[in-house]
Chain A
Amino acid sequence: MNIMEFILLFMGALGIGFASAIGGIGGGSLMVPYMVLILKYNVRTAIASSLMTIIATSCSASSIYFEKKLVNIDIALILIPTTVLGAIIGSYTNLSLPQSIVKKMLGLVLIIIAFMILIKPLLFREATIKGTANYKYFDESLGKYIVYGARNRTLAAILAIISGVMSGMFGVGGGVIMVPIMALIMGIPIKVAVATSSFIIGLNAATGSITYLAKGITHLEVVTALILGIIPGAILGAKTMSKLKPRAVQIAFSIIIAYSGIKLIM
């Protein structure tokens, strides 16, 4: 890797980390198109590198969520077995398909992700329906404990496989599927859903990365440059968050992601 390549990867990851933290969106859906469309990496290398980067960002985020006791272990353990299985299926499917098809499928997935980001506020308007109240968490913004429950556990466990496949196959975190499963299908509060999903995403990415690393597809120098950029970017973004409108960033995000998706399909 030459210095210029390192700088491009580092700066790109810095910007993606910054924007992701402000928009509250995972960086994978921007990282892969950035590497494929701008830096001209092959799609498989980009996916494998993005997946390893996601492990680092998930570790950072979930360590904070664990400290705040927002990660629900009961819920996580319902979803983890099927989602890691999905990640393995996804990574093997990626390796068995021709790159051109993976690229087109990635394009389609990015368009779906862009749409999901766009309808996010509508999607979570009804997300606080409660099941049998077994759990509670402390909501800092409200200054009180919120009691909640979880329903449709079997259905959620089955659907979680989609998030795993997406993560393993396309190098995106899968949070865009995991959070709606938890919030809409299981009826758990959005803050707990985001926190629990951040831990599950790291496990997904780790499982998928094993396959790519073992097959020699992951470029570790590229991964290092990306992680070195994305972590400070995310910290910077989190500090700037209050000064910018997250919704405007989300709309800009979805436009860029949709455009990237179309470019990948064409």
Chain B
Amino acid sequence: MDPKPRILKVGELTGLILMAIGLILSKITNLAYSLTITGAATLILTPILVLTFVVYEELRRKYMMNVIKGLIAIIIITLSLILNLLSP
């Protein structure tokens, strides 16, 4: 069975639930912001995780051109993430 739809559904739902709890608790506790940011990060990482899984599947099928294309995309996204985290 293809796990990609499940990863997408679980990622979306987890992200949304964490963000919603964060929103509800935002008036009560400082922990709320951590929950909200974790939810947002989960949401952002979900399609990237699916892409990583796609690359893994292509690697198993030995479609090396597809693996290279997928890896290029993952490297571009990772570099953007690192640059954003490092910049003030």
Interface residues of A (CB under 8 A from B): 1, 52, 55-56, 58-60, 62-64, 66-67, 69, 73-74, 76-78, 80-81, 84-85, 88, 199, 202-203, 205-207, 209-211, 213-215, 218, 220-221, 223-225, 227-228, 231
Contact B43 A52, beta carbon cutoff 8 Å: yes
Contact B44 A80, beta carbon cutoff 8 Å: no
27 pairs, CB–CB < 8 Å, chain A vs chain B:
A52-B43, A55-B44, A59-B11, A62-B47, A63-B8, A63-B12, A64-B5, A66-B5, A74-B66, A77-B73, A80-B73, A84-B77, A88-B76, A199-B47, A203-B73, A203-B77, A210-B77, A210-B81, A213-B40, A214-B84, A220-B22, A220-B23, A221-B23, A221-B36, A223-B19, A224-B16, A231-B16
Contact B51 A56, beta carbon cutoff 8 Å: no
- Min CB distance, B27 to chain A, in Å? 10
Contact B4 A56, beta carbon cutoff 8 Å: no
- Min CB distance, A109 to chain B, in Å? 22
With the chains together, A225 CA to B36 CA distance in Å? 12
Contact B84 A215, beta carbon cutoff 8 Å: yes
With the chains together, A67 CA to B7 CA distance in Å? 12
Interface residues of B (CB under 8 A from A): 2, 4-6, 8-9, 11-12, 15-16, 19-20, 22-23, 26, 36-37, 39-40, 43-48, 50-51, 54, 57-58, 66, 69-70, 72-73, 76-77, 80-81, 84-85, 87
B interface: dominant SS: helix
Given contacts A59-B8, A220-B37, 12 further A-B contacts (CB under 8 A): A55-B43, A60-B8, A63-B4, A63-B5, A73-B54, A76-B54, A84-B73, A84-B76, A203-B47, A206-B43, A207-B76, A214-B85
Q: Which residues on the B side are within 8 Å of A60 (C-beta)?
A: 8-9, 12
With the chains together, A224 CA to B47 CA distance in Å? 18
Q: Which residues on the B side are within 8 Å of A73 (C-beta)?
A: 54, 57-58, 66
Contact A85 B16, beta carbon cutoff 8 Å: no
Contact A55 B46, beta carbon cutoff 8 Å: yes
- Min CB distance, B45 to chain A, in Å? 8
With the chains together, A59 CA to B9 CA distance in Å? 7
Q: Point out the residue from B9, B19, B39, B47 that lies within 8 Å of A206, measured CB to CB.
A: B47
Contact A80 B5, beta carbon cutoff 8 Å: no
